[in-house]
Amino acid sequence: MNKIIPSITVPVINKGITSKVILSDELKDKKVIIFGVPGAFTPTCSEKHMPSYIKLHTQLIDKGIDDIYCLSVNDSFVMNAWLLSYTDGNKIIGIADGNGEVAKSLDLLTDKSKNY
């Protein structure tokens, strides 16, 4: 999927430090992987998604990837706590899309209100 990374200011969590950055500037001239999850601390995301990227981190970096980011519609405090809950969570950089601006800009939102 080729989408233009939006010029939106978001909190990015790297090794426990949160910085507000313009996402397009943060990713400029980098080869990155961005994976999205519905939410931090959710069972499948916590037990399958995040651990898989942590486990494959070295292999992906060895293939020329600069950084691996996790996008979630959580605030920076929750995202930071989730990353810190993993022994090697510092290998993944968090994008805290608490207002869903990045997800909306990339057309990643889906209306699930009929599922209730």
Active site residues: 45
Q: How far is the C-alpha of 29 from the C-alpha of 52, rounded, in Å? A: 25
Instruction: Tell me which residue has tokens 């399958």.
Output: 48
Q: Which of 5, 39, 38 has its CA nearest to residue 22? A: 5
Q: How far is the C-alpha of 78 from the C-alpha of 96, rounded, in Å? A: 8
Is 80 in a helix, a strand, or coil?
Answer: helix
